[in-house]
Amino acid sequence: KLTHFGYQKIDEREKTEKVAEVFNHVARHYDLMNDLMSCGLHRLWKAFAVSQAGIREGYKVLDVAGGTGDLTLSFAKQVGKNGEVWLTDINETMLQYGRDRLLNKGVIVPAMVCDAEKLPFPDNYFDRVVVSFGLRNMTHKEDALSEMNRVLKQGGKLLVLEFSRVWKPLRNLYDMYSFSVLPWLGKHVAKSAESYRYLAESIRVHPDQATLQKMMEDAGFVCARFFNLTAGVVALHTGMKL
Ligand code: SAM
């Protein structure tokens, strides 16, 4: 089967392998590529997510698919010495870059390789769980969301920052950007056009705002809502565990 862009649809196992391959390729250039691809906007999107997290001193926070650790870094500064922020990712190479980067900034956090679909944490442990630009890469998103619900305390909050459905009048322009500029940047900066073609395709097939809100409700979250950022290029979804 082909998607509407002509790429071959891949099955579940292939997707997991593809995601591992992509992030092994892009890890070294990940932060630079984020700045180039989003013209620095990813910093504002992440700052907005941090502002909505309502972190207090002493909180336990889980950064799922944390990669190079942008959000972990912000949260680590807020929770103080009695809090905990865990940096986790399924990809060891990304996690290594993240942990080293935080160490260079003088921040030491527990870091663990783990799959969001099988989180190795007890029930009701965290005050906040955050996943930033990670959910769309997960093969079984429903399982990952219900795991995030399980490890949250009652009254805890999940924040999902992710690419989403762009405002309709801008869609053609956005598609042109995604499927020409991104692979071009990938080819010339990260030396992997294919990885960035995959990223563009993964954004295109990710659930839109209303669908993801419903998925969060189905996973047990209440007060699920979302904020559109930059005309829906990105959306921040939040939900509480009762
Ligand atoms: N959170 C970081 C950020 O906002 O910059 C990194 C996002 S990066 C685009 C996506 C990350 O998701 C990669 O590091 C990848 O290894 C991770 N990932 C993909 N599938 C995962 C899974 N099932 N469990 C945990 N992490 C996963």
Q: pLDDT, tens digit, for every residue of 55-106?
A: 999 999 999 999 999 999 999 999 999 999 999 999 999 999 999 999 999 9
167: left (phi over 0), alpha (psi -120 to 50) or beta: beta
Confidence grade of residue 13 (pLDDT, cut at 50, 70, 90): confident
Binding-site residue ranges for S-adenosyl-L-methionine? 68, 89, 115-116, 132
Backbone angles phi, psi at 82, to 5 degrees: -90, -5
- Among the ranges given (37-51, 173-187, 211-225), the one the predictor scored with the smallest mean pLDDT: 173-187
- Among the ranges given (117-121, 163-167, 203-207, 215-219), the one the predictor scored with the smallest mean pLDDT: 203-207
What CATH class is the domain 12-240?
alpha beta
Site residues for ligand 1, CB cut-off 6 Å: 19, 23, 65-68, 70, 89-91, 94, 115-117, 132-134, 137-138
Q: Mean pLDDT for the chain?
A: 92
Bridge-based pairing state of the strands 60-64 and 126-132: parallel
CA pair distance 121, 144, nearest whole angstrom: 13
Minimum-distance ligand 1 atom for the alpha carbon of 115: 24
Residue with tokens 């160490």: 103
Q: Whose CA is nearest to atom 14 of ligand 1?
A: 67
Q: Which two tokens stand for residue 154?
A: 């009652």
Q: Mind listing the pLDDT tens digit for each residue in 105-151?
A: 999 999 999 999 999 999 999 999 999 999 999 999 999 999 999 99
- Residue 25 confidence (pLDDT): 82
Q: Is the pLDDT of residue 18 over 90?
A: no
Q: Whose CA is nearest to atom 18 of ligand 1?
A: 65
The complex scores an ipTM of: 0.99
Domain assignments of the chain as residue spans, ordered by start? 12-240
Find, among 135, 155, 151, the residue nearest to 66 by Cα.
Answer: 135
Which comes out higher in pLDDT, residue 191 or 207? 207
